[in-house]
Amino acid sequence: MLNNIDSDKHFSYVRFQDGELIALIGYDWITDIEAIENKVGNIDGHLYFDEMCTALRESICSDKNVIYSNKNKYVFRISCEDQIFIINKCPSYSDKFWKNKKKSKNDILKMLNDLASNIKVKISGDILNTNIYQSPHIFIKFVDIVNKKNIVFIGPEYCKNLTFLNIKKHIIIPRTNCFLEKDNIMKEIICTMQEYEKKNQGCIFLFAASMTTNYIIDKLFERSLDKHTMIDVGSAFDNFLSKESFNQIKRRVYNPVFIKNNYPQNFWIN
């Protein structure tokens, strides 16, 4: 991925983590509610909109997406195996957790296994987020490379605090339920593409828009093809922000001591 970014070999990269997997199978095993009826949403508060869930299901089986994924032009990271491992091994998923749930642990494991067997696109490994804690030098290199490009960041307002990124344009989105603004967000992205294309330049679009990221990238992939790169960074950069700097957004993994000890000083944002 780093070589492709550095040499302007454009591609798109999307991640299907727990929230996206819930959208795909249509059931939230965490809150024990059918996804499209869920009034709670994922861990960040984004609701599972029916249109979004349907679009994400279609994206992993689309014939054209299969072709582009095999060419590594449209890269999919779909973490069914990771979630199965977590459900089987994570202490928080104890027998107590599953007690009185509408669906049992075995039900969810079967749903995830069935989903995995129906995915048609080529699945790649985690080429970005895992490196934050396992291979900091790779993540630092990623930042160094993208900083030489035209970075357009699509994310909530608090992301403006990421001063170690050389962001040329920040498309600010609502912190929750940005799917409701998807059309306006896509219009702004397309306008930005056109602006840089007039200068014969491409952009690196970094998305921190939860499940809406997958929807937008899928809708704009062919528009972006061979002209721009679109990358789903998820909540990766939240790891470099202190709680005070972004109003205590929820985190899964967060280790400030590790970040301070393994990254340049300017990566830690107070």
Residue 178: its pLDDT value, please? 94
Do 17 and 76 contact (CB within 8 A), yes or no? no
Residue 244: its pLDDT value, please? 60
Least confident window among 2-11, 39-48, 84-93, 189-198 = 39-48
Cα–Cα–Cα angle for 99, 23, 131, rounded to 5 degrees = 95
Residue 82's pLDDT band (boundaries 50, 70, 90)? very high
* Other C-beta atoms lying within 10 Å of the C-beta of residue 30: 18
Residue 254: its pLDDT value, please? 72
Report the chain's mean pLDDT, rounded to a whole number. Answer: 92
Where do the structural domains in the chain lie, given as residue ranges? 2-10+126-267, 18-70+79-118
Per-residue DSSP letter, 21:
H
Statement: residue 40 has pLDDT above 90: no
Residue 106's pLDDT band (boundaries 50, 70, 90)? very high
Out of 1.10.3430, 3.40.250, 3.30.70, 2.60.40, select the CATH number for domain 2-10+126-267.
3.40.250
- Please give the average per-residue pLDDT across 48-72, as a whole number: 94
Do 230 and 217 contact (CB within 8 A), yes or no? yes
Do 195 and 65 contact (CB within 8 A), yes or no? no
Statement: residue 120 has pLDDT above 60: yes
Q: Rounded to the nearest 10 degrees, what angle do helices 210-224 and 50-59 cross at? A: 50
Structure tokens of 202? 């491409």
Residue 245: its pLDDT value, please? 55
Beta bridge partners of 16: 78
Residue 68: its pLDDT value, please? 97
- Please give the average per-residue pLDDT across 139-147, as a whole number: 97
pLDDT in tens, 186-245: 999 999 999 999 999 999 999 999 999 999 999 999 999 999 999 999 989 999 987 665
pLDDT in tens, 88-104: 999 999 999 999 999 99
Cα–Cα–Cα angle for 157, 37, 54, rounded to 5 degrees = 75
What is the distance, to the nearest Å, from the Cα of residue 185 to the centroid of all Cα atoms in its chain? 16
Question: Global pTM?
Answer: 0.93
